[in-house]
A and B are shown apart, each in its own frame.
Chain A
Amino acid sequence: MSSDLHYKTATELTELLADKKLSSVELMKSVIDRTKAVDGRVKAFNSYDEKDALAQAKASDDRRARGLSAGPLDGIPVGLKDVIAVEGQPLTASSKMLANFVSPYDSTVTKKLKQAGAICWGRLNLDEFAMGSSTENSAFHTTRNPYDLERVPGGSSGGSAAAVSAGEAPLALGSDTGGSIRQPAALCNVVGMKPTYGLVSRYGLIAFASSLDQIGPFARSVDDAALLLGAIAGHDPLDSTSFKTEVPDYCLELAKRKGPWRLGIAKEYFGEGLDPEVGAAVQAAVEFYRKQGCEIKEVSLPHTEYALDVYYIIATAECSSNLARYDGIRYGHRSKEATDAIDIYFKSRAEGFGPEVKRRIILGTYVLSSGYYDAYYLRAQKVRTLIRQDFLDAYQSVDAILTPTSPTPAFKVGEKAANPLAMYLSDIYTIGVNLAGLPGISVPCGFSKSGLPIGLQVIGQPFKETELFAIARSYEQAHEWGSRLPAL
């Protein structure tokens, strides 16, 4: 893919490490050097612990020297969105509220990464508490799109997408509640995947909207994404919503799936608000599949227009409750102005949360409040059922659905900051997937004339990640979009 070590895929790095042509310490050093060189401009990281990363790399090399390598991820750095708990490391959610919080425990995915020998590398920026589509809501700084530093990387997992895109991490984890992995992946020209709800444990992931959140991989190739997903997926007794299902060796299995597939196109995903260049790139991808012998079918997802409303009711309601624990009592920011215990709540939360978080807490509190529950929350849950049913109906006749990931390429920093509703609309193609609990992946599928990346979203069937990866990979293998690197 690239001669630069920091732009190699994890799969390539695995081979180099296995062949002892590269040590993990060398790899880690090159990633650190790259990060130091570009992160002043990209600002993907909230923090990183160089010494700790090198110690993990050294431990990996020692394991390998003793013939005890833990597998393909052993010695490979994985950047972590700053909502995933790593024992002894900061966990800030890019919020002033948790600016000084250090996690005393590991999330389940962190434990799994450590078991696989991967290096937990750095804390990646996001929109505060994962609420946003641009990282502009981070309390610390806005991450920049490596392809145009004036533009946003998308969000909320913008730090994860930008880090992989800018060569600051070969792999990263993000979380996706309404498109927070797929949208920034599309905007930063990397692969980003949101697994079926319940496939990956949420234990140790700072909750935004519990019924929608999933952790998923960012990578430079579909194979890499499959590799990372394989390491973190699986039932977890600490997460009651995690599903008991077999986790196949995705890399091995997906290579066996060659298609042709029956692929669905939904007109609801190509309507008003879609940037013509994005529309054209996605249409071209559809044509590619058709030429490959895939059957392209029109499917209908009639409740799509309600998805955004349902999403904003459910997500804000859940977040208003999930974020109640940030009160300045046991941990987190405590206002110096507070005069009594009750005052601690009001002032600490006023000082600790940014405007978008406050806005969503207010909205969520309102929709749950007495007299409104049935009209908003309960109704939204019912419409959620209809949205989910639309997808399941469509899957009677197709294997997957092709859509744009984001209606537009990366927008400028500040462009939508004043208008929350406009910002919310950038999730319009991704939130249905979360509401229905489906897996979805974004793969690079072209560039705008101004050189901004465009993503293709493939939406799969529940727990059929292998198929989803295979479909995405068949497109990726025939195109070179991913190898067009940002000029940094």
Chain B
Amino acid sequence: MNYEAVIGLEVHVQVKTRSKMFTRVEAGYGRAPNTLTDPVVLALPGVLPVMNKVALDAIIKAGLMLGCEIAPVCKWDRKNYFYPDSPKNYQISQYDQPICRGGFVEIELPGSARNVMGEHKRIPLTRIHLEEDVGKLNHETVDSLIDYNRAGTPLMEIVSEPAMHSAEEAFAYLTSLRQTMIYGGISDCDMEKGQLRCDANISIRPAGETKLGTKVELKNLNSISFVRDGIAHEIKRQVAVIQAGGTIVQETRDYDGQTGTSQSLRTKEMAHDYRYFPDPDLMPVKVDEAWKARIKSECPELPFDKQRRFIEQYQVPYTITSVLVPDQELSAFFEEAAKLSGKPQQVGNWIVNDLLRELGNARIGLAEAKVKPAHIAELVKLVDSGTLLSNAAKDVFVEVFQTGDSPAAVVDRKGLKAETNAGELEQWCRDAIAANPKSLADFKAGKDSAINGFKGFIMKAAKGKANPKLVDETLRRLLAGL
């Protein structure tokens, strides 16, 4: 029998704010233990929460970018449960009035080949709500140590419908969601820093069945590839259980990405009863049209929209866009250079090949690089006009990257301007034709690319300074007369 997997993801995304969700002490990562606390974070007797305006802006932005309905009014609820990482032993969250409902995440599945765009799908969302993060438990041999630095960090919970059917879809969902959050400046989504965390609800059912199977919650999927591997592993496990005549028990399993195995979390089974009730310490939130309009105006173009536009507007190949688009800065860099030069494809190539290589070698980000879009545009023009030979241009680029000088200045300094003495050039061309009878025969036989056989000879004679456009023209003129 064939089985279909049904997957829903619950993704927690830390919102990038200066201060915490309900108090104004700094929010941050990687700081000495318990240095980012205050009476509110530690839930000392007598403290009260106050909402962070920017966190609200951020979730509205996330909702608008993902096509959610924004609730005109929503409230805060207390989710009551005891755990040592939770200072109040309740979490302020949103129960029956989340700020965002509905919406979807557009995903792209792998194409038939690397240079072919894959199928696009919309994965529907159930809701997004805002809550606060908990502290961190560090497990030692006999005891656990608690650091509350993370406690109180604004956290969005993004819940998808059970609408994915493969590990690949879940992977694509998370990739796209992450991309969108980064685009919106909502979160850096660094999974290593716990800024994005994912739990998956997975069930299987016979193909064609509409009723959902018993779901298993998979936790600790703490990298995007663990999400894919963990889900694939869980689907296989469930199919194996069923095929062996067993049944799936509803449980929470912990995936270990290192060993590629999962384990049931067998703990003292405490009935889950969160006793939600409206938090009397906080006032409700009202989102009016003006607020939504302001946030809407701050929403960036979505990644897939940008990709479609790049392909259409600049006629750049899919492969180039799939390198550019995930990086918002790089995309902007491309667009500026493309507009300045009017040669988007060449610009795309320079960025994807040379710029990324040099950034990688120098181990720096684009923001720190000395090379600017205008430089790329200028370089493209120099090559295109024949003033600079492609081979030499590569070196010029490296020099521009290192110094931040304009390409023209580098060309001048290095004396790389292509030679244009027509008489000398014609002589080199004649010599080249004479010296390469094989290429001449091929060319005459109709093999146009055979013309390149002469060019190497000419460049050698010209010490690399021949204008390739002129070389080409001259060669063709001469060859046509033979």
Contact = CB atoms under 8 A, between A and B. Distances in A.
Interface of A: 83-85, 91, 93, 98, 101, 103-105, 107, 202-207, 209-211, 237-241, 317-318, 320-321, 324-327, 329-331, 341-342, 345, 365, 368-370, 373, 377
B82 A104 contact: no
Contact of B49 (A91, A240, A345, A377): A240
13 contacts: A83-B46, A91-B46, A103-B44, A105-B39, A204-B46, A209-B280, A240-B49, A240-B51, A240-B282, A320-B275, A330-B42, A330-B87, A341-B84
- Please classify the interface of chain A as helix (H, G, I), strand (E, B), loop, or mixed, using the class held by over half of its residues: loop
Contact of A91 (B45, B90, B281): B45
Contacts of B281: 207, 210, 240-241
B46 A207 contact: yes
Contacts of A241: 48, 280-281, 283
A103 B46 CA distance: 10
A234 B148 CA distance: 32
Contacts of B42: 330-331
A368 B79 CA distance: 11
B78 A206 contact: no
B398 to A, nearest CB: 55
B409 interface: no
Contacts of A365: 275
Contacts of A373: 275-277
Given A240-B281, A241-B280, A325 B43 contact: yes
Nearest to A364: B275
Contacts of B51: 240
Q: Size band of the B side of the interface? A: 20 to 34
A330 B50 contact: no
B318 to A, nearest CB: 50
A103 B45 CA distance: 8
Given A93-B45, A241-B283, A321 B277 contact: yes
A368 B146 contact: no
Nearest to A201: B48
B363 interface: no
B280 A210 contact: yes
B48 A202 contact: yes
A321 B80 contact: yes
B144 interface: yes
A209 B279 CA distance: 11
B273 interface: yes
Interface string B70-93: 000000001010101001111000
B283 A240 contact: yes
Contacts of A377: 277
B47 interface: yes
B31 interface: no
Contacts of A101: 45
B76 to A, nearest CB: 10
B87 A321 contact: no
Given A209-B280, A368-B277, A377-B277, 10 more contacts: A85-B45, A103-B45, A105-B39, A203-B48, A204-B47, A206-B45, A321-B277, A325-B88, A330-B146, A373-B276
A343 to B, nearest CB: 10
A237 B45 CA distance: 18
A366 to B, nearest CB: 10
B413 interface: no
A327 B89 contact: yes
Contacts of B82: 324, 327, 342, 345
Nearest to A205: B46
Name the residue in A210, A239, A321 with the highest tally of chain B Cβ atoms < 10 Å from its Cβ.
A321
B268 A342 contact: yes
B275 A368 contact: yes
Nearest to B279: A210
A320 B80 CA distance: 9
Contacts of A317: 277
Max chain B CB contacts within 10 Å: which of A85, A237, A240, A317?
A240
A356 to B, nearest CB: 18
A239 B49 CA distance: 7
Contacts of A342: 82, 268
Nearest to A105: B39
Which residue, B42, B89, B90, B275, has most C-beta atoms of chain A within 10 A?
Answer: B275
Given A324-B82, A325-B89, A104 B44 contact: yes
- Of the listed residues B39, B84, B277, the one surrounded by the most CB atoms of chain A closer than 10 A to its CB is B277
A369 B50 contact: no
Interface string B271-314: 00101110011110000000000000000000000000000000
Contacts of A329: 84, 146
A203 B45 contact: no
A101 B51 CA distance: 28
A459 B445 CA distance: 110
The 9 closest A-B pairs by CB, nearest first: A324-B89, A211-B280, A368-B275, A210-B280, A325-B43, A204-B46, A206-B45, A370-B273, A105-B39
B46 A85 contact: yes
Nearest to A212: B280
Nearest to B23: A238
Interface in B83-120: 84, 87-90
B52 to A, nearest CB: 12
A330 B48 contact: no
B44 A105 contact: yes
Given A210-B281, A318-B280, A373-B277, A98 B90 contact: no
B150 to A, nearest CB: 15
Given A318-B280, A321-B80, A341-B144, A240 B48 contact: yes
Contacts of B43: 325, 330
A324 B88 contact: yes
A206 B46 CA distance: 4
Q: Which of B43, B45, B273 has the most CB of A within 10 A?
A: B45
A41 B82 CA distance: 41
A84 B45 CA distance: 9
Nearest to A98: B45
A329 B84 CA distance: 7
A369 B283 contact: no
Contact of A321 (B46, B84, B275): B275
A130 to B, nearest CB: 12
A109 to B, nearest CB: 10
B146 A324 contact: no
Contacts of B47: 203-204
Nearest to A370: B273
A243 B283 CA distance: 11
Contact of B50 (A84, A103, A238, A341): A238
Given A204-B47, A341-B144, A373-B277, A321 B78 contact: yes
A459 to B, nearest CB: 22
A381 to B, nearest CB: 8
Interface string B249-283: 00000000000000000001000010111001111
Contacts of B277: 317, 321, 368, 373, 377
B186 to A, nearest CB: 24
Contacts of B276: 368, 373
Contact of A324 (B90, B273, B282, B283): B90
B428 to A, nearest CB: 81
A31 B47 CA distance: 31
A240 B52 CA distance: 11
Most buried by A among B49, B82, B84: B82
Nearest to B34: A330
A326 B88 CA distance: 8
Nearest to A93: B45
A203 B84 contact: no
B306 to A, nearest CB: 39
A377 B146 CA distance: 34
A203 B46 contact: yes
